[in-house]
Chains A and B, each alone.
Chain A
């Protein structure tokens, strides 16, 4: 069987199947994505909910109509597709929750958000689903800033203990309304799944392949009736915000990463400024957001 080799999140990955979202690469793989039989359950899960189970260095996700996924030791993902599964469906969940579990096992800090590079520094936009992270990142990329990650943001502490954002892969995931808002031609894009009006925007031309120091985090909040405003998150509230915006905090906790996670978010809180941008998505235009963000990120650089 032909194998595919890629690089994503700083890892060389060998896969049994084609993953067009990732960048092809040559080298010695450290992560292996394989077809295979997935065990029905974990022996001693620390956390077991409706469709996932997690234990130290083990993770299981079962999705009817798509696949079963098993992740172990930060180096192996086994995929058992359902009979009528489409590859697109499998990849959407592989690149979401499943990869997040792998990165957590690798002891990366995984935050929920999209990040870009501004003058060599990493800026992360986080916030809950639908808060506009990807749309804003995409709009900034159109203005020439480089993309680091979309959706899952992997962070590692460097040898001096400072957080660095590791580039993910050069794609952005956007709903149809955002694609249209950005003025992209929808006909030239492929939906992430045939059943959804959500698309992958290619960002290969504006993708940063190098890790950069993380310097700023913005939390996007969509709140009914709110004016567009920006406020600094006080140091005492930073840890709470970092926990809230940790991707699938529960997986990580169950996979034995809790104390490590705390060290990581403390290191981030030490050097990263955090601000909250609140607005009502119905009242604030993307242009207004862009103007505010560009002003903001340029002051980050001046400081």
Chain B
């Protein structure tokens, strides 16, 4: 009997890194898993999957009509699973107008990966090839979405991200799905302990050696080297490299004081809860 493990995160928070780790852990072969063929199971906002499951051309539907069917699509998939399936998701945990959650609780668990929003802002602005100020504004918008411009086709379904804090709150406060939270900074600073806990939460039986080996194979430098060699298909157009710096605290080289204070103003409460700001109001990473 399988279940869906949602790999949930705001963009640029370490989701791909976590998927690379899982792929290396699940891979039968000893070689490093190809970043263009990760062994996880796609993304929740995959349009083709939706069309296949419903028999309807989602491009002829409104975004709200699509959302109204998404819970059933995920329940159908969960029901049909024979093994654990890992699905990436950037949607916030939201509810439809009739009160149903977008992500049903039936046979589902979530790993929620979170990263210091100061670093997310820098990474996200590179990712979208847009200015830091615009990125900071977007991260503050309570109704921010991916793929929502109504005048064109989008390869993926609309994803409501909410603000950065809203995204974190939505997954933390959900009453339906058990969530295991991982901080990007802990993945970086105490990898073995952090990844081992995640593996235990998922319920995979792996010895410590295997985890260490998978960690070794999915080191940031290795992923970056692979991208340099073969490219990465998930890299957006106009972005130089998907795997850029992969470090913590890089924001100090990029953000102005004013930009930092705008992020703090909007996200202070959540940052404190996550330990990104300590009791003396100092930024931790």
Contact = CB atoms under 8 A, between A and B. Distances in A.
Interface of A: 49-52, 61, 63-65, 92-93, 96-97, 128-130, 175-178, 192-193, 195-198, 222-225, 248, 250-251, 280, 282-283
Given A50-B76, A197-B150, A129 B57 contact: yes
A176 B153 CA distance: 9
Interface in B103-118: none
A130 B153 contact: yes
A50 B60 contact: no
A192 B57 CA distance: 13
B160 to A, nearest CB: 18
Contacts of A63: 56
B267 interface: no
B222 interface: no
9 tightest A-B CB contacts, nearest first: A52-B55, A130-B153, A176-B151, A177-B152, A282-B237, A50-B54, A51-B54, A195-B62, A92-B60
B153 to A, nearest CB: 4
Contact of B59 (A64, A129, A176): A129
Contacts of A250: 52, 55
B65 interface: yes
10 contacts: A50-B53, A50-B73, A51-B54, A52-B55, A61-B56, A96-B60, A129-B59, A192-B60, A196-B62, A223-B233
Nearest to A223: B233
A197 B63 CA distance: 12
Contacts of A251: 55
B57 A96 contact: yes
A52 B48 CA distance: 16
A225 B230 CA distance: 12
Contacts of B231: 225
A160 B56 CA distance: 35
B11 to A, nearest CB: 15
Contacts of B196: none
